[in-house]
Amino acid sequence: MATRSCREKAQKLNEQHQLILSKLLREEDNKYCADCEAKGPRWASWNIGVFICIRCAGIHRNLGVHISRVKSVNLDQWTAEQIQCMQDMGNTKARLLYEANLPENFRRPQTDQKDEIFIVN
């Protein structure tokens, strides 16, 4: 059984992590889902380092944890390592990395099925 001081320490750490995530979500490109550009993402693929909407989070979960590790920004507990991954990447850097070879006139998919194909590829 965890001691009171351990629980308080964990609670304080979680509050610090929530503040960091809130700050990251205020950055312009993080205000939109990295995959479909839906406004106000509340989920993240922490190992990829992107903020995503609930619909795209479901697609990421279906990819398997060996590809994408999804957490709720608000509902889940975060580790320092996971927070660091989000700070190191973010939607802007991720797009530069993962979408570097997309044509200049590329338009994001507008349907669930096409979104899934876009995310997988």
Residue 99 is predicted with a pLDDT of 82
Mean pLDDT estimate for the chain: 88
Of the two residues 115 and 23, the one the predictor is more confident about is 23
Please tell me the pTM assigned to this model: 0.83
pLDDT at 120 over 90: no
Burial class from Cβ neighbours inside 10 Å (0-12, 13-18, 19+) for residue 68 reads buried
CB 33 within 8 A of CB 52: yes
Across residues 26-54, what is the average pLDDT?
A: 96
pLDDT at 54 over 80: yes
CA distances to 59, 87, 107, 112 from 103, rounded to whole Å, are 23, 27, 9, 21
pLDDT at 117 over 60: no
